Structure 1
């Protein structure tokens, strides 16, 4: 069965969120002072493993697996909320995030929220039944 447009959009939004995260992480790694480069590399490796799981789940979502949709909704929702709250709290505490980190965080959160919303539209719900 071919996935409906809402599921396809959700899939591609998940992929876009992964790409945005990877690009932001790579730019951050390149621009990080050498003193903290090791911790950045470890963070990047852990991040890539997490993003690989997200891609796997997005592929399963596209194939109609409801458990993947639910897992992405929970993990993605938590990730979006924690990212936005972290950026807002950091700004309130005077923590200076780079403009790139801020933009990447908000763009990724927006992509994730949109992906979740598309995956729960009426045509998608019928597909997962």
Structure 2
């Protein structure tokens, strides 16, 4: 029984894959920024303690670290990373970002009402959330462009020594 290993990639990184990876990193940055804003606001208002926020912050940190790891693997042409990003963060992550606002809109809220009643922190958070979602949707779209698909085709395999 022989083991196989992937041949090293010699083809250049397509711009769409590079941009997709950068958009994933931007999404992580926006997510981290939103987390800092949320934690700061909850601590400032006194509605939560540091001990109460640590588990949520730890989970977010793990997700951010995984996203960075996957984005770097994406750049290397590893298709499993592309598929993992698309399913976990592209689908479920996006749903987690938009479900609250969509439910609020369906319950009769309006964007005009939200903007009129928002404070500076709310506007900054909303702007970051919008950019976060745009970065994720852009990354997913670019990851499946024809040039990206060609880059992610299974590389030639060589028998291991």
- TM-score, structure 2 as length reference: 0.71
Q: Which runs of 5+ in 1 are unaligned?
A: none
Which residue of 12, 17, 42 corresponds with 2:27? 17
Query: How well do the aligned residues superpose, as a CA RMSD in angstroms?
Result: 1.9
The question of whether the paired residues in 1 share the 8 Å contact of 2:37 and 2:125 is answered with no
Which structure is richer in relative contact order (CA contacts within 8 A, separation 6 or more)? 2
Of 110-119 and 99-108, more deviation after overlay is shown by: 99-108
How many residue pairs are counted as aligned between the two chains? 128
Of 60-69 and 26-35, more deviation after overlay is shown by: 26-35
Which residue of 5, 9, 15 corresponds with 2:15? 5
Point out the structure with the larger helix share. Answer: 1
Cα distance, 1:44 vs structure 2: 1.4
The question of whether the paired residues in 2 share the 8 Å contact of 1:29 and 1:41 is answered with no
Higher alpha-carbon Rg: 2
- TM-score, structure 1 as length reference: 0.87
The question of whether the paired residues in 1 share the 8 Å contact of 2:21 and 2:139 is answered with yes
1:126 equivalent in structure 2: 150
Cα distance, 1:112 vs structure 2: 0.4
Which residue of 58, 83, 104 corresponds with 2:128? 104
2:96 equivalent in structure 1: 82
Corresponding residue SS for 1:36: coil
Q: Which runs of 5+ in 2 are unaligned?
A: 1-9, 154-161
